[in-house]
């Protein structure tokens, strides 16, 4: 499963950027810049007069079905320009076009972003199914030079030359600090002022109980520093939030600022490391300066690994000086301010192990708070938080939602809730129902359902038996998660899918690993049994199996020949070395053992499916007929499963 994540933008803070300041008393070189900028801007603007962007639905329902469309031009395989027939332009729905510049009458009048030419064509064809041949809209294709792209080459180049000229003249006269013309050195930290009260509080952060209680201490310090300082206590300066993406690190930092009602400066690590040399370091300097002026305050550095990656020996001959300078400056700043100045630096990373040890020394980021993927109970709480603003139907069962989304992060859950509301709105419902949430979950896990995707009957048959193979194999294997649904409706990139309800385990036994290999190989095995030939359709499965087998043999020490050895490297340092941490001879043994493991699992699967061949065939048939088969039908064909099926799946 790979989870899609969506950036959840938070509107509860308003941001304020530093205004550009110009050097006082220096010659008006900035006029040249302004001039150049204006020229470029006008060229850019002229070429970029774009037609109105509309959605496919609007296009189909208001234009295509009314036979208003004169022609369609597909440009660069990315967008389709719509030309409306001249005599139809007078209709009230097109009134905005006629009001525009005189050019706009000629068109193109509208544009649609298309995913791919094929899917656009097939949608168009479907939409025009009932049209007479002479009513069909003609499509032409064009390739155009993308002026924006060309300009994006020219502009930096021009700017660089001008910048250089400026530097040479200005050298020795003006200092290169924060006062320089573009304010390169100024931090882009967003300042969230105290007057604009942040609405994010601990109430918006669900689960994460331990992390919250640790963070509460920081809030308390920011609010009542005296209670601590009068006893001579030293307040931590730097706190590292460690956890996978989407677990709420940013949210937590914002909540701290919100609870303590202090200014919040946030900057992403990748913003430190930019094109111009020396910028990162001076940004750091400036960020701390601003924060200290507003103390008590919070600095939040997201993705600190972008700057703080360890400077190991392996990196020496390809050192990134810029990054190193930035890191050094960060360390200097951290050491430079006293313990009790009232500035607390929070940083977020998803990999604490690759950070430079210097960052983690006492007095720097010496406190670590771990944010982990939520457990079932925590997921329930996160659902509750995100269901608050949603109008939900009575049948919504939060407990079931939580148990159907194992391994999901807080961001995934926020995404599901939003998706569900969108789905319900599209269906013009009064409230969001349980089925909308389920659909949203499937979409977040597997991508969009694509019922319109055209596959030939033969292909469909292969997909049906392939999926039936996964289903039957997993049904009769003791250690595979509960199967809840099999579908051959194309979704995202895949043509079919089997849905499991994973149990949450921290430890996986060898037997379970092998059963999982077999279940994943079930698709390919079924193809071989039913059609006596194999297809390319098992690529994803085979990739997964191969990777899994390598981790079993080389990392988890689950192979008898190799024994309890692990070549796993938790520090990530080996990634940078060429070559492997074992000999050629060992490499050969590993390869051989991995192959043997997969082949034997495959044979075992074939055997298992042959034993249940009639069931495999009837499930394949049913899938071809129904496209989606649920637990009830699965049990009818395959019998009750020996493995206990969690009760909540049944209803
Ligand atoms: P990170 O910084 O760890 O990648 P974010 O803080 O940006 O994650 O989380 C993204 C979004 O996911 C948040 O804006 C919030 O809507 C949701 N979210 C994540 N964790 C939680 C949580 N524990 N409680 C409520 N919402 C959460
Ligand atoms: Zn498969």
Count of domains forming the chain:
4
Which numbered atom of ligand 1 lies nearest the CA of 412? 12
Does 182 map to a domain?
A: no
> How close is the Cα of 457 to the center of ligand 2, in Å?
18
* CA–CA distance, 307 with 294 (Å, rounded to integer): 25
Pocket test for ligand 1, best of 202, 203, 248 (most atoms within 8 A of CB): 248
Which numbered atom of ligand 1 lies nearest the CA of 207? 23
199 and 117 assigned to the same domain = no
434 and 494 assigned to the same domain = no
Which numbered atom of ligand 1 lies nearest the CA of 206? 24
Weakest-pLDDT range from 122-131, 315-324, 366-375: 315-324
Which ligand has the shortest distance to the CA of 526?
2
Q: Is the pLDDT of residue 364 over 90?
A: no
Does 161 map to a domain?
A: no
> How close is the Cα of 471 to the center of ligand 2, in Å?
10
Residue 185, pLDDT score = 53
Pocket test for ligand 1, best of 198, 212, 246 (most atoms within 8 A of CB): 246
Per-residue model confidence as pLDDT tens digits over 283-298: 788 888 888 888 788 8
| Cβ-Cβ contacts under 8 Å for 443 (sequence gap 6 or more) | 419, 449
Q: Is the pLDDT of residue 497 over 60?
A: yes
Which numbered atom of ligand 1 lies nearest the CA of 385? 25
Nearest CA to 651 among 477, 458, 397, 476? Answer: 397
List, chain by chain if needed, residues with CB within 6 Å of any ligand 1 atom.
8, 10, 205-208, 243, 245-251, 348, 382, 385, 410-411, 414
Q: Is the pLDDT of residue 195 over 50?
A: no
387 and 361 assigned to the same domain = no
* Last-in-domain residue among 325, 350, 370: 370
Does 631 map to a domain?
A: yes
Q: Is the pLDDT of residue 631 over 50?
A: yes
Which numbered atom of ligand 1 lies nearest the CA of 245? 4
Per-residue model confidence as pLDDT tens digits over 451-488: 777 788 888 999 999 999 999 999 999 888 888 888 88
Residue 340, pLDDT score = 65
Q: Looking at residue 290, which CATH number applies to its domain?
A: 3.40.50.300
Does 450 map to a domain?
A: no
245 and 297 assigned to the same domain = yes
509 and 576 assigned to the same domain = yes
* Last-in-domain residue among 414, 445, 476: 445
Which ligand has the shortest distance to the CA of 486?
2
475 and 585 assigned to the same domain = yes
Tell me the average pLDDT across 504-529: 91
Does 211 map to a domain?
A: yes
Does 183 map to a domain?
A: no
- Residue owning the nearest CA to atom 17 of ligand 1: 411
Does 452 map to a domain?
A: no
First vs last Cα of the chain: how many Å apart? 24
Residues annotated as catalytic (active site), given as ranges: 467
When mean pLDDT is compared over 580-584, 603-607, 646-650, the highest value belongs to 603-607
Q: Is the pLDDT of residue 81 over 90?
A: no
> How close is the Cα of 417 to the center of ligand 1, in Å?
13
* Last-in-domain residue among 392, 420, 445: 445
Tell me the average pLDDT across 188-197: 54
421 and 464 assigned to the same domain = no
Per-residue model confidence as pLDDT tens digits over 396-443: 888 888 887 877 889 989 999 999 999 999 999 899 999 999 888 888
282 and 391 assigned to the same domain = no
474 and 623 assigned to the same domain = yes
When mean pLDDT is compared over 163-172, 246-255, 329-338, the highest value belongs to 246-255
> How close is the Cα of 405 to the center of ligand 1, in Å?
16
> How close is the Cα of 411 to the center of ligand 1, in Å?
5
Q: Which domain holds residue 340?
A: 190-370
Pocket test for ligand 1, best of 212, 411, 413, 419 (most atoms within 8 A of CB): 411
Weakest-pLDDT range from 1-10, 219-228, 505-514, 539-548: 1-10
Tell me the average pLDDT across 488-494: 80
Place of tokens 């913003």: 271
Does 366 map to a domain?
A: yes
Q: Where are the alpha helices (DSSP H) in 355-497?
A: 376-387, 398-403, 410-426, 434-446, 457-475
Q: Looking at residue 537, which CATH number applies to its domain?
A: 1.20.58.760
The overall average pLDDT reported for the chain is 79
* CA–CA distance, 248 with 211 (Å, rounded to integer): 11
Find out whether the peptide bond into 108 is cis, omega within 30 degrees of 0. Answer: yes
Q: Looking at residue 64, which CATH number applies to its domain?
A: 3.40.1690.20
> How close is the Cα of 54 to the center of ligand 1, in Å?
31
521 and 645 assigned to the same domain = yes
Which ligand has the shortest distance to the CA of 382?
1
Per-residue model confidence as pLDDT tens digits over 306-324: 777 766 544 544 456 667 7
Tell me the average pLDDT across 34-50: 64
Q: What percent of the chain has pLDDT over 70?
A: 80
360 and 279 assigned to the same domain = yes
Of residues 405 and 510, the one with the higher pLDDT is 510
Q: Is the pLDDT of residue 648 over 60?
A: no
* CA–CA distance, 533 with 422 (Å, rounded to integer): 43
364 and 384 assigned to the same domain = no
Q: Is the pLDDT of residue 19 over 50?
A: no
pLDDT band at 619 (very low <50, low <70, confident <90, very high): very high
- Residue owning the nearest CA to atom 5 of ligand 1: 248
Which ligand has the shortest distance to the CA of 243?
1
């Amino acid at each position: 499963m790979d989870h899609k994540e969506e950036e959840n933008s938070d509107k509860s803070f308003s941001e304020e950027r530093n205004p550009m300041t110009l050097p006082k008393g220096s010659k008006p070189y900035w006029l040249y810049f302004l001039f150049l900028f204006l020229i470029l801007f006008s060229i850019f603007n002229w070429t970029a007069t774009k037609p109105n962007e509309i959605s496919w639905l609007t296009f189909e329902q208001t234009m295509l079905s009314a036979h208003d469309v004169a022609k369609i031009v597909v440009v660069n395989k990315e967008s389709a320009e719509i030309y409306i027939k001249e005599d139809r332009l007078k209709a009230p729905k097109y009134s905005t076009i006629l009001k525009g510049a005189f050019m706009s009458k000629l068109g193109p009048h509208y544009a649609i972003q298309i995913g791919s030419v094929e899917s656009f064509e097939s949608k168009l064809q479907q939409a025009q199914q009932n049209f007479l041949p002479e009513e069909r809209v003609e499509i032409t294709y064009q390739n155009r030079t993308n002026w924006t792209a060309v300009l994006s080459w020219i502009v930096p180049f021009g700017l660089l030359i001008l910048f250089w000229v400026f530097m040479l003249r200005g050298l020795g006269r003006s200092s290169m600090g924060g006062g320089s013309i573009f304010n390169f050195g100024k931090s882009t930290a967003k300042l969230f002022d105290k007057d604009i009260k942040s609405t994010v509080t601990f109430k918006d952060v669900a689960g994460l109980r331990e992390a919250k209680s640790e963070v509460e201490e920081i809030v308390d310090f920011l609010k009542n520093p005296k209670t601590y300082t009068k006893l001579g206590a030293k307040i931590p300066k730097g706190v590292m939030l460690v956890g996978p993406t989407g677990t709420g690190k940013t949210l937590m930092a914002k909540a701290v600022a919100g609870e303590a009602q202090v200014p919040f400066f946030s900057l992403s690590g990748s913003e430190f490391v930019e094109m111009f040399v020396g910028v990162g370091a001076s940004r750091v300097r400036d960020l701390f300066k601003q924060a200290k002026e507003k103390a008590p305050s919070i600095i939040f550095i997201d993705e600190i690994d972008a700057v703080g990656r360890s400077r190991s020996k392996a990196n020496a001959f390809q050192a990134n000086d810029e990054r190193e300078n930035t890191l050094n400056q960060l360390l200097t700043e951290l050491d430079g301010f006293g313990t009790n100045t009232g500035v607390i630096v929070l940083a977020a990373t998803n990999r604490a192990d690759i950070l430079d040890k210097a960052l983690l020394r006492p007095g720097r980021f010496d406190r670590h708070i771990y944010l982990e993927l939520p457990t079932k109970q925590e997921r329930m709480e996160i659902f509750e938080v995100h269901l608050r603003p949603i109008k939900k139907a009575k049948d919504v069962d939060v407990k079931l939602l939580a148990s159907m989304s194992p391994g999901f992060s807080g961001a995934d859950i926020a995404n599901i809730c939003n998706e569900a509301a969108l789905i319900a709105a599209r269906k013009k419902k009064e409230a969001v129902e349980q089925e909308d949430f389920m659909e949203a979950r499937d979409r977040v896990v597997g991508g969009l359902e694509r019922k319109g995707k055209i596959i030939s009957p033969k292909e469909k048959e292969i997909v049906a038996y392939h999926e039936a193979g996964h289903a039957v194999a997993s049904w009769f294997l003791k250690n595979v998660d509960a199967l809840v649904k099999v579908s051959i409706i194309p979704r995202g990139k895949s043509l079919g899918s089997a849905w499991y309800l994973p149990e949450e385990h921290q430890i996986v036994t060898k037997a379970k690993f092998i059963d999982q290999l077999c279940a994943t190989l079930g698709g390919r095995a079924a193809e071989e049994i039913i059609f006596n030939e194999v297809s390319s359709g098992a690529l994803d499965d085979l990739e997964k199996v191969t990777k899994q087998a390598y981790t079993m043999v080389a990392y988890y020490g689950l192979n008898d020949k190799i024994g309890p050895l692990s070549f796993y490297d938790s520090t990530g340092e080996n990634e940078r070395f060429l070559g492997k941490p074992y000999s050629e001879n060992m490499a050969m043994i590993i390869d051989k053992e991995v192959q043997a493991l997969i082949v034997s699992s495959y044979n075992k699967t074939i055997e298992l499916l042959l034993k249940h061949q009639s069931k495999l065939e009837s499930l394949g048939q049913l899938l071809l007929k129904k496209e989606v088969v649920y637990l009830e039908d699965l049990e009818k064909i395959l019998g009750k499963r020996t493995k206990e099926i969690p009760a909540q799946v049944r209803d």
